[in-house]
Amino acid sequence: MRLVLLGPPGAGKGTQTERLVARYNIVPLSTGDMLRAAVAAENAIGKKVKDTISRGDLVPDEMVVSLIAQAIDAPEAKNGFILDGFPRTVKQAEALDRLLKDRGLKLDAVIELKVDEAALLARIEKRVAEHKAKGHAVRSDDDPSVLRQRIANYRKETAPLSDYYQQTGALLPIDGMQPMDKVEAEIEKALQKRVAA
Ligand code: AMP
């Protein structure tokens, strides 16, 4: 199974990714996680992207495309993958299409979690509070002003991917405002229908 999960920050992509990974025995590929690991490792990529990430802006397309190309070619991704946080721009989506075509692969579906923007800030604040209560580290970009920037970038750069994948026929829109289990069940139903078709 090869999937893309689209949705703004706070839409619940992380939770649904975990569940899809377990159900289909596929690997999660999150460009955000890869970039945060590079920042933590203080390697060349990390040094280049640190400030961009903390502002809530997008890093250059070529950089994430090359990270994803490597990840897709890794043996662990042979059984399939779920892309979380990639593609984020139409250019990245086009690059992904080429990348998959060159390898004779195809996306099974692009799941879009649709959420009410007004609810996003509240959701992230809840996530931050929960992480803090558990003594976990909090992401530097989970701050209200940076979050507003991330949502604005989503609206401008990433929301157009909904039309892009509608045109390719891959899009599965899901109401992400429902409880997590209900969202999971709807994704499952839509995927089964897709696979059967
Ligand atoms: P995320 O964990 O997906 O919310 O990503 C955290 C941050 O990493 C984003 O706000 C961007 O600065 C950067 N980032 C992650 N994925 C991408 C991508 N596909 N294109 C550009 N920037 C990205």
pLDDT at 122: 83
Residue 139 has pLDDT above 80, yes or no: no
CA-CA distance, 48 to 161, in Å (whole number)? 26
149 or 127: whose pLDDT is higher? Answer: 149
Model confidence pLDDT, tens digit, residues 13-61: 999 999 999 999 999 999 999 999 999 999 999 999 999 999 999 999 9
Distance in angstroms between the alpha carbons of the first and the last residue of the chain: 15
Its pTM surpasses 0.95: no
Number of domains comprising the chain: 1
CATH code assigned at 107: 3.40.50.300
The DSSP line for 30-54 is EHHHHHHHHHHHT-HHHHHHHHHHH
> CB within 6 Å of ligand 1 — which residues?
9, 31-32, 35, 52-53, 56-59, 64, 85-86, 88, 92, 141, 150
Model confidence pLDDT, tens digit, residues 163-174: 999 999 999 999
Q: How far is the CA of 196 from the centre of ligand 1 (A)?
A: 33
Model confidence pLDDT, tens digit, residues 55-98: 999 999 999 999 999 999 999 999 999 999 999 999 999 999 99
Describe the strand order of the beta sheet including 109-114 as a list of residue ranges: 27-30, 81-84, 2-6, 109-114, 171-175
| Domain span holding position 21 | 2-196
Residue of 30, 58, 66 best suited for mutating to test ligand 1, as the one with most atoms within 8 Å of CB: 58
pLDDT at 148: 87
Output the furthest CA–CA distance in the chain (Å, rounded): 46
Sign of CA dihedral 52, 17, 165, 185: negative
CA-CA distance, 133 to 155, in Å (whole number)? 31
Residue 192 has pLDDT above 90, yes or no: yes
For the chain, give the mean pLDDT: 94
Beta strands 27-30 and 171-175 are unpaired
